[in-house]
Structure 1
Amino acid sequence: MLLSAFLVAWGAEAAQFLISQGLALALLAWLQTSPEFAVEAVIAWEAGKDPARAHLAIANLTGAIRLLLGLGWPLIYFVFAFSGRKDATQRLPSITLERQHAIEIIGLIPPLLYFLVIIAKQAFGWIDAVVLIALYAGYLAVLLRTPPHAAEALEDAPAVSRWAYRQRGWRRPLVIGGLFAVGGGLLYATAHPFLESMLAVAGLLGFSQFFLVQWVAPFLSEFPEFVSTVSWARRVTRAPMALMNLVSSNINQWTVLAAMIPLVYGYSHWRATGMWVDFRFDGPQRLELELTLLQTVLGMLLLFSMEFGWLDATILLVLWLAQFLVPHWREEVAVAYGIWIVVLVIGFAVGGKRLLAPRYFLETLRRR
């Protein structure tokens, strides 16, 4: 599994010189989150036959999103900050994002807005799934407008990525594609036994089923992603790419992963009973979605200035730890997210914080 994580990461670093970095990261996110899709599909399928287990599908979705944002983003920052720090008295630096990264940041807005509709209905069906998939397709279409990185930046890439890109003619895309294919194949072959063995160990340790589904399963299924992004974060020039890898995965989760739930659930229920039904959720599941939505909105607003600093990372980590260690604090954590969102919005409104991401995104849309 470790080898698969490095292979797809090397492939992505080479691919960004052929296609846009955003598209390379989108492809990488698909490969990295494939175990997560498999787990979610199994849970939704079983819930379709037994609706009493439907809450587990929401638990896995929200846990996966909150884990990446609440633990993954801060982890990227602190690995970056302390890897490049030569003096203990030196001020912790910020991760400075590139203009093209505004696409990933703004790309979070459409699915988050649409999820307000889903939360209000306390249900989502195949039409909602189609809308979410269409939003993801629109995000990919915008990524097509961004150019590949200049070949001069190749010198900062790992030796394997440089070797793959320097192949001539048809061999270049073949070798880069091979890195993705071999890495993805290894990931597919090792993810299921790795996941099952770790879940068995967690079960022996006495963790509840809900805890396993919401936190343990997402952590294990996202393990390859943590490996590759932490590897990038150790290099100052690749830290923005590491952070955008996780943001791209968040977009994937809010759109395609979420869309899979009503489709698999409805089809499973149809196979079992002969009737297709929408996926419905109750009050506690609605709170899980609201908490996850607020966390993602906060993360997105923190990136609107195109920088990610120690305070941003600390806030996300502390609030995630609070809900993880003390589950009944979910409502209080949701309020804390809401308060910080209001503080950020006021900061943007009075000019105390730079609102750069929307401007850079519009510049990309105007590009021919």
Structure 2
Amino acid sequence: MILKLIKMAAGSAAKVSPWTAFWTFPSILASAFVIAWGAEAAQFLISQGLALAILAWMQTLPEFAVEAVIAWNAGKDPSQTHLAIANFTGSLRLLVGLGWPMIYFVAAAFSRKRDRGFVKLELDREHSVEVFGLFLPIAYFTFIWWKGTLTLWDAFPLTLFYALYLWILWGIPPQEETDETMEDLGTVPRKILELKPRMRNAAIWALFIAGGLILYLSAHPFLNSMLAIASSMGVSTFVFVQWVAPFLSEFPEKLSAFYWARKVSTASVALMNMVSSNINQWSILSAMIPVLFVISAGEIKPLQFDQFQRHEIILTILQSFLGFLLLLNLELVMWEALILFVFWAVQFFVPSIREQMIWVYVTWCAFEILKLLFARKAPAAWIGFRHTLRIRFAPKGEG
């Protein structure tokens, strides 16, 4: 039953010593920084959002690999469907409940000596694309939750949402090379941008390829070494699949985010890196699940959700929707980061009250919606999104 997948993973992990972490961890660390440098430099050649989307793709490859194995096994044995849902929902809840607040508090800690008062992470106007990029797949997943199945046909609109998101990002101009933006860059990307165009482009591609190759070669033994450690500590199957595996598979992304979050001026990039991964997983990763499930099963049939799985899905939907509502003003402040973290921590440490947490999220989302309805002006993200769409759809030579 649920132990089948873990036994397979444990079989691999048994061949890998926990000491493997001593070389795989530095490798993962190196890959995160190399890919981040490539994305930093690339934002001056393509839009920052598109550079972060590419970065998110590379960083979440381990998560895709883990979810692919689980979905494939669920096709052979439908009793494992709940593992696919556990890994998927756990990954998304970690991003919003732990990842977003982590970025805020890292930025606050590093700026404490220089500034007084509470730190405010302010997003750029073009980041409204990422904010609204969250909405469509979340809204569609509400329909998936309502019908209680994830089917092959659901993969089409979910993929379309992601394609639309990338298409909009493709039309956004790249960052301008001003003294202020160049000052925010690390030494490596700054040196790359000083090269001649051909050498500069080659160097950026080299960083992406090298970082991706290091990540590819080290991700599997890293996950297995961590599994060996988790198994020796007696971590349960469900906890491993829902929380440990997603945390480890998203580890490169958290390292990149930490790197950018050290400065308030670049912390918004770290946050959008996480949001881009949210969009990636709500759309493409979730679309991949029924495709692999059907291929593995050898017939077109849906993944059926039981009551517990539906609770997990709606809890994840509401958490991401709350995150979307909080970012509509294109900023993240202390109390918002604290709410996201506390709500996640409660359901993590006291899983028995997850059903009650659904209503907590519903209540807070309703509160945020009422604030929007009684506000005197439209949310900053909506204004920025309309402006960005005008630029994207403007005839060439205009905008």
CA distance in 2, matches of 1:28, 1:165: 18
Which residue in the other structure is 1:67 paired with? 94
Which residue in the other structure is 2:67 paired with? 40
Q: Describe the SS at the equivalent of 1:151.
A: coil
Which residue in the other structure is 2:321 paired with? 297
Of 198, 205, 216, 2:226 maps to: 198
Shift of 1:309: 0.3
Of 217, 225, 232, 1:189 maps to: 217
CA distance in 2, matches of 1:245, 1:288: 24
Which residue in the other structure is 2:331 paired with? 307
CA distance in 2, matches of 1:334, 1:187: 36
Q: Deviations over 1:136-161 (max 9, x none)?
A: 00000111221100111223211111
CA distance in 1, matches of 2:377, 2:336: 13
Q: Deviations over 1:86-121 (max 9, x none)?
A: 279x31111011000000001111101111111111
Q: Is the 8 A contact 1:145 1:365 kept in 2?
A: no
Which residue in the other structure is 2:154 paired with? 128
Instruction: Kindly provide the amino acid, as one letter, of the partner of residue 63 in structure 1.
Output: G
Which runs of structure 2 are paired with 1:233-244 in the superposition (5 Å)? 233-244=261-272
Which residue in the other structure is 2:16 paired with? none
Structure 2 CA distance for partners of 1:353 and 1:331, relative to 1, 3 Å = farther
Q: Is the 8 A contact 1:305 1:353 kept in 2?
A: no
Instruction: Kindly provide the amino acid, as one letter, of the partner of residue 231 in structure 1.
Output: Y
Which residue in the other structure is 2:11 paired with? none
Instruction: Kindly provide the amino acid, as one letter, of the partner of residue 286 in structure 2.
Output: A
Q: Describe the SS at the equivalent of 2:197.
A: coil
Of 327, 331, 339, 2:355 maps to: 331
Which runs of structure 2 are paired with 1:75-154 in the superposition (5 Å)? 75-86=102-113, 90-152=116-178, 153-154=181-182
Q: TM-score, normalization: structure 2?
A: 0.89
Q: Structure 1, unaligned stretches of length 5 or more?
A: none
Which residue in the other structure is 1:5 paired with? 32
Which residue in the other structure is 1:161 paired with? 189
Q: Describe the SS at the equivalent of 1:107.
A: helix
CA distance in 1, matches of 2:378, 2:348: 32
Which residue in the other structure is 1:25 paired with? 52
Q: Structure 2, unaligned stretches of length 5 or more?
A: 1-27, 395-399
CA distance in 2, matches of 1:172, 1:215: 39
Shift of 1:353: 8.2
Shift of 1:202: 0.9
2:382 aligned with 1:355: no
CA distance in 2, matches of 1:264, 1:154: 44
Structure 2 CA distance for partners of 1:353 and 1:240, relative to 1, 3 Å = farther
Shift of 1:126: 1.6
Q: Describe the SS at the equivalent of 2:139.
A: helix
Q: Is the 8 A contact 1:305 1:354 kept in 2?
A: no
Instruction: Kindly provide the amino acid, as one letter, of the partner of residue 227 in structure 1.
Output: L
Instruction: Kindly provide the amino acid, as one letter, of the partner of residue 329 in structure 1.
Output: I
CA distance in 2, matches of 1:332, 1:354: 32
Shift of 1:201: 1.3
Q: Deviations over 1:6-56 (max 9, x none)?
A: 000000000000000000000000000000000000011111111111100
Shift of 1:348: 1.1
CA distance in 1, matches of 2:262, 2:221: 29
Q: Describe the SS at the equivalent of 1:149.
A: coil
Q: Is the 8 A contact 1:347 1:353 kept in 2?
A: no
CA distance in 2, matches of 1:73, 1:11: 22
Q: Describe the SS at the equivalent of 1:300.
A: helix
CA distance in 2, matches of 1:144, 1:188: 26
Instruction: Kindly provide the amino acid, as one letter, of the partner of residue 291 in structure 1.
Output: L
Q: Is the 8 A contact 2:152 2:300 kept in 1?
A: no
CA distance in 2, matches of 1:145, 1:212: 40
Q: TM-score, normalization: structure 1?
A: 0.96
Q: Is the 8 A contact 1:19 1:147 kept in 2?
A: yes
Shift of 1:285: 0.6
Number of aligned positions between the proteins: 363
Shift of 1:352: 7.0
Which residue in the other structure is 1:365 paired with? 389
CA distance in 2, matches of 1:323, 1:131: 30
Shift of 1:232: 0.3
Shift of 1:169: 2.9
Structure 1 stretches of at least 4 aligned residues deviating more than 4 Å after TM superposition = none
CA distance in 1, matches of 2:197, 2:87: 44
